[in-house]
């Protein structure tokens, strides 16, 4: 039974890349079609999805031997888990009592134009009151919860390639 899904790691890395493209396309759909403006944590999560997708694409194109597959698998898991940590922070902010939610700050364009890069990145990763607002749900879960699940699945997919390696 497991042999049916035991493709070579190149295919799985490509499927992971396709999943990242899908997630980024959904983010663009919600932003440009549904008119849901992304908060700083949403943008940070998109960057983590992009980084994970790039690792997966390079791994799929390179199609390395076992040692290279292991390195790509670890790199993919690290980028996905970094995204999962950002998503976790976002979910935590959404579940704070209203009186504990941080104040809403200036938009990112203003921050990039008027503050040092390090301060802007710190702002992006810490979140604001904008991040605590829930604009969309599916089956009772907000977008950051679904993104967290996606990151955990991408990290798992990546790490499974260490044991999935098979010469073709």
DSSP-derived 3-state class of residue 12: helix
Q: CA 73 to CA 56: how far, in whole Å?
A: 8
Query: Tokens 């979140």 appear where?
Result: 127
Calculate what percentage of the chain has a pLDDT beyond 70: 83
Q: Give pLDDT, residue 105.
A: 62
Nearest to 158 by CA among 3, 2, 20, 4: 20
Q: Name the fold adopted by 8-164.
A: Bromodomain-like (1.20.1550)
Residue 25 has pLDDT above 80, yes or no: yes
Residue 167 has pLDDT above 60, yes or no: no
Q: Give pLDDT, residue 121.
A: 72
Q: CA 134 to CA 145: how far, in whole Å?
A: 11
Q: Give pLDDT, residue 3.
A: 56
Q: Give pLDDT, residue 102.
A: 66
Structure confidence by residue, pLDDT tens digits, 96-137:
777 776 666 666 666 777 777 777 777 666 666 577 777 877
Structure confidence by residue, pLDDT tens digits, 36-73:
888 888 888 999 999 999 999 999 998 888 888 889 99
Sign of CA dihedral 115, 116, 119, 121: positive
């Amino acid at each position: 039974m497991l042999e049916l899904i035991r493709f070579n790691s190149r295919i799985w890395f490509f499927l992971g890349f396709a999943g990242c493209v899908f997630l980024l396309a959904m983010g663009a759909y919600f932003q440009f079609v549904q008119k849901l403006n992304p908060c700083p944590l949403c943008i940070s999560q998109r960057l983590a999805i992009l980084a994970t997708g790039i690792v997966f694409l390079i791994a799929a194109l390179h199609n390395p031997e076992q040692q290279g597959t292991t390195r790509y698998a670890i790199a993919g898991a690290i980028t996905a888990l970094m995204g999962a940590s950002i998503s976790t922070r976002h979910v935590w902010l959404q579940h704070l009592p209203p009186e504990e939610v941080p104040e809403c700050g200036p938009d990112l364009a203003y921050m990039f134009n008027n503050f040092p890069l390090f301060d802007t990145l710190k702002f992006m990763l810490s979140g604001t009151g904008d991040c605590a607002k829930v604009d969309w749900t599916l089956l009772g879960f907000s977008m950051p919860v679904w993104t967290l699940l996606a990151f955990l699945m991408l990290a798992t997919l990546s790490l499974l390639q260490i044991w999935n390696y098979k010469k073709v």
